[in-house]
Structure 1
Amino acid sequence: MHPIDNLPAGLTTRALTLDDAPAVLSVIAAEEVVDLGEPEMTLEDVVADWRRPSYDITASTVGVFDGDRLVAYGDLSDADVAYTAVLPSYQGRGIGTALARWLQATARAAGSTRIGTQVPQGSAAERLMRDLGYEERWTAWDLELPPDREISARPLPEGFTIRDDAEADRESAWKLIEDCFLEWSERERMSMADFGAKVWGRPGFEPWNLRLLTTADGDVVGATHVFLAGDGGYVARIAVRPDHRGRGLAPAMLVDAFRLAREHGAVRCYLSTDTRAGARGLYEKVGMEVASTWVNLAVTL
């Protein structure tokens, strides 16, 4: 682990381990309560990300401690994707700046030419990143379907079916979702092993969490990854093969995903999108509303 400089006196650092995931979640949740009014991240999110086969938690993370208490952390999650959080009571002491510098040095040593992070619009983290020279790449939103609202969607065209995944379908689902996301996302293709860690390897995964849209011939032409996050049903991924778009399939897939989430206890249903995908209008058209706005900021190394 690279050394981290310019921390306040009395604080110590070390690389994190999987056992630190609950403490990391507590720090993230404390920030989210201030910035968003409630926490969004779950323990399953942290664990699934850290369990990716390609991920080296020792080389990619640093925890900042006051005694035995974790008060901040940094995580180079991917080549140019960083996450940080600092307990609100410890902000304004230079910890965030020190973590940003550490993440830049770690990314540079790994061969990256830029590093970015996504933070709530108007947050202390956004102000800090802009002060450090980070520039906006895109805007993102969490959109929520109010509890008393249903999505109206026409029935699936004849011959189409939405069903739970089976193990034999997983390579097809991975290829489909990655192909669709890489139409607009500037990143390397996620390996099937890493994708699986975040989907069917996610703690608590059940077959209904990955729903597949198939034709009468059995071809997989759409997929939805949905799971429970606290009291919410979250659609993490939704994709339709290009040659089957424009037929009302995506709204029908959302209806299916949110129905299942509610049947499994979700009080609210939500998803995330950003300006690169160009899908916000679709989600608002079916009755979803913006719940929070985020900005993705990056700096060249």
Structure 2
Amino acid sequence: MPELVPPLPAGYRARPATADDTSTIHHLVSACERELHGRVRSDPGGIAAVLARPGLVPELDTLLVHDPTGRLAARAWVNRRSEVDVHPRHRGRGLGAALLDWAEVRARRAGSEQIVQTVPDDDTGAVALLRCRGYAPMVTEWLLEFPMPEEPAVPEPPAGVTVRAFRPGDEHDAHRLIEDAFDEWQQRRESYQEWARHTVERPTFAPEMSSLAFHGDQLIGAVVALNLPEAGEGYVEQVAVRRDHRHRGIARLLLRHSFRAFHRQGRRTCVLGTHSDTGALDLYLRVGMGVRHSSTVYRKSLRTA
């Protein structure tokens, strides 16, 4: 059992998550997303990738709360950052506060000096809870959308640059390019296996909508895309361009190729997420994307006097 299971309302019980819970957790997260934004953005592959995070010990770092009928009412996990979700039917009963307490205790036990959690800005209840518990804003995240009532135009590539869809065998080169590009702002590099679980090994990975740019035979840019059936729209998971080929329109070129590929598969919207540390918001706005909604990454120090 997890350490220090928090006090719960009568009839509720808690246990750690296992890989067999992936589908049930996805249903819970989906219900939260529908309640807040009217559509689903998560998928079971993303949940499975979280449960397989390096260093995360499900028996200690995850908690599922079931109601008296045995249905999943809430869940939490903590491992360098944390997530807490409470099903809309079970809110107002203190489950969110109890799981937040548990996450902080577990993070301290694991030796973390801080805990981080991302909350949509329009989830006013969750924002208020974090703020009253001493969490402070750290980073802003945006979900951007590109409406496609008509097939998007694709610009001509710069001289010497070619673009094609992702093929088997591109995985390791794409991982290396993306991690090199993200070194400027991310706190740590992801191993190939960790990266692959969130991208190319995910059931929703869409290689035909994922675009790669080459200068000669050198990979210089990549868009990794997912096809999210419940959302009914395309999703760009990652965009990266090699440093020495930036400011040439490569990112815009790759995005437009992916947008067009999604349009030809019947999607009429494509979305992607970015945050203030990347400095990429203006790029996406220039491509023609608009902000659908925003979230804030909150941080709390766990250092004791």
- The normalised TM-score by structure 2 is 0.91
Q: Does residue 133 of structure 2 align to residue 105 of structure 1?
A: no
Provide the C-alpha distance between the structure 2 equivalents of 1:150 and 1:264, rounded to a whole number of angstroms. Answer: 11
Deviations 1:233-262 (A, max 9, x none): 000100001110000111000011112222
Residue 146 and residue 165 in structure 1: after superposition, are their counterparts in 2 closer, same or farther (change >3 A)? closer
Amino acid at match of 1:196: A
Q: Contact (CA 8 Å) 1:145, 1:269: kept in 2 or not?
A: yes
Shift of 1:206: 4.7
Percent sequence identity over aligned pairs: 33
Deviations 1:188-231 (A, max 9, x none): 21111111111121124353254321111x11111111011131
Provide the secondary structure at the position in 2 that maps to 1:125.
Answer: helix
Deviations 1:155-183 (A, max 9, x none): 11122122233454322211211122231
Paired position in structure 2 for 1:74:
76
Paired position in structure 2 for 1:91:
91
**Stretches of structure 2 lacking an aligned partner (at least 5 in a row):** none
Q: Contact (CA 8 Å) 2:199, 2:237: kept in 1 or not?
A: no
Paired position in structure 1 for 2:222:
223
- The normalised TM-score by structure 1 is 0.92
Residue 298 and residue 238 in structure 1: after superposition, are their counterparts in 2 closer, same or farther (change >3 A)? same
Residue 130 and residue 53 in structure 1: after superposition, are their counterparts in 2 closer, same or farther (change >3 A)? closer
Amino acid at match of 1:73: R
Provide the C-alpha distance between the structure 2 equivalents of 1:155 and 1:149, rounded to a whole number of angstroms. Answer: 19
Paired position in structure 2 for 1:241:
242
**Stretches of structure 1 lacking an aligned partner (at least 5 in a row):** none
Provide the secondary structure at the position in 2 that maps to 1:188.
Answer: coil
Provide the secondary structure at the position in 2 that maps to 1:139.
Answer: strand
Residue 51 and residue 197 in structure 1: after superposition, are their counterparts in 2 closer, same or farther (change >3 A)? same
Counting only pairs closer than 5 Å after superposition, residues 118-129 of structure 1 correspond to structure 2 as 118-123=118-123, 124-129=125-130
Provide the secondary structure at the position in 1 that maps to 2:271.
Answer: strand
Q: Contact (CA 8 Å) 2:204, 2:226: kept in 1 or not?
A: no
Counting only pairs closer than 5 Å after superposition, residues 91-240 of structure 1 correspond to structure 2 as 91-123=91-123, 124-148=125-149, 154-185=155-186, 187-208=187-208, 210-216=210-216, 218-230=217-229, 231-240=232-241
Residue 66 and residue 130 in structure 1: after superposition, are their counterparts in 2 closer, same or farther (change >3 A)? same
Counting only pairs closer than 5 Å after superposition, residues 40-51 of structure 1 correspond to structure 2 as 40-51=41-52
Shift of 1:99: 0.7
Deviations 1:93-121 (A, max 9, x none): 21111111111122222222111111110
Provide the C-alpha distance between the structure 2 equivalents of 1:180 and 1:126, rounded to a whole number of angstroms. Answer: 32
Residue 122 and residue 177 in structure 1: after superposition, are their counterparts in 2 closer, same or farther (change >3 A)? same
Deviations 1:41-97 (A, max 9, x none): 222221233344654333321000113110000012x32x11110012211221111
Residue 89 and residue 183 in structure 1: after superposition, are their counterparts in 2 closer, same or farther (change >3 A)? same
Provide the C-alpha distance between the structure 2 equivalents of 1:129 and 1:250, rounded to a whole number of angstroms. Answer: 36
Residue 35 and residue 245 in structure 1: after superposition, are their counterparts in 2 closer, same or farther (change >3 A)? same
Provide the C-alpha distance between the structure 1 equivalents of 2:245 and 2:102, rounded to a whole number of angstroms. Answer: 45
Q: Contact (CA 8 Å) 1:144, 1:290: kept in 2 or not?
A: yes
Q: Contact (CA 8 Å) 2:206, 2:225: kept in 1 or not?
A: no
Provide the C-alpha distance between the structure 1 equivalents of 2:65 and 2:138, rounded to a whole number of angstroms. Answer: 28
Residue 292 and residue 178 in structure 1: after superposition, are their counterparts in 2 closer, same or farther (change >3 A)? same
Provide the C-alpha distance between the structure 2 equivalents of 1:83 and 1:163, rounded to a whole number of angstroms. Answer: 36
